[in-house]
Structure 1
Amino acid sequence: MTMVPEPYGGSGGGANLADILERVLDKGVVIAGDIRINLLDIELLTIKLRLIVASVDKAREMGIDWWEHDPSLSSGARRRELADENERLRERIAALEQRGEPA
């Protein structure tokens, strides 16, 4: 019996990309790092990088839901922002009307 080598990147025995992605999204992965730029022991710039790769459900389990409150990412947040702005404008108009000033 002759063994024929499998081409590079084949699926023989190893997990395929879909399996790996499913595991990563199910468990979550955190990558953290800092970049610091110093000149003569004076810190000029610090950049803190934090990357979390997880499914939406896993992120919610971890208490991460910032995208739900960001108006640029969530239509619900945009509606809440507009409703808050409308309420502030109504209060302002009511205050102006009470003082007798035209709106």
Structure 2
Amino acid sequence: MTSGPVVRPTYGSGPANREPANLGDILERVLDRGIVIAGDIRVNLLDIELLTIKLRLLIASVDTARELGIDWWAHDPWLSGRDRELVEENRRLRRRLAVAEGREEVGG
């Protein structure tokens, strides 16, 4: 039995013996193309599923995310600064409910 050179699979395009990429190159590639990480955690006891946690993580640039139709941060009140408006609206609605239920005097 003869031993030959170790052949390692290459992933992606390009030559197999290119220089190692630095962190900046890797980050640029990930943000340009994006990366998806998915996983599930299940806790079972005697074949009874007690807990399931599904993890989905997408890492991409803002432009790439928008191309994919993902822009939740633009509409999230806590990230867009509308949280103060929601807190004030919540306070007003609670006061109106208390008045309607007779728990608070009008104007108080």
TM range (shorter): 0.5 to 0.7
Q: After superposition, what is the alpha-carbon deviation per residue over 1:71-92, rounded to whole angstroms, capped at 9, x for unaligned? A: 11112x447758xx4xx97xx8
Q: CA distance change for structure 1 residues 27 and 33 in 2, over 3 Å: closer, same or farther?
A: same
Which one of the candidate residues 75, 78, 90 is aligned to 1:72?
78
Match in the other structure for 1:36? 42
Match of 2:23 among 17, 28, 39: 17
CA distance in 1, matches of 2:67, 2:47: 42
The DSSP-based 3-state class of the residue aligned with 2:54 is strand
SS in 2 for 1:73: helix
Structure 2: tracts of 5 or more residues without a match: 1-17, 97-105
Where in structure 2 are the equivalents of 1:55-66 lying within 5 Å?
Answer: 55-66=61-72
Partner of 2:12: none
* Same amino acid, percent of matched pairs: 72
Paired with 1:80 and 1:28, the residues of 2 have a C-alpha distance of 34
SS in 2 for 1:19: helix
TM superposition score normalised by structure 1: 0.63
SS of 1:13's partner is coil
Q: Deviations over 1:23-67 (max 9, x none)?
A: 100000000000000111111000000011000110111111111
1:98 maps to: none
SS in 2 for 1:72: helix
Aligned CA RMSD, in angstroms, stands at: 2.7
**Taking structure 2 as the reference length, what is the TM-score of the superposition?**
0.60
Q: Which runs of 5+ in 1 are unaligned?
A: 1-11, 93-101
Q: Aligned partner of 1:33: which letter?
A: G
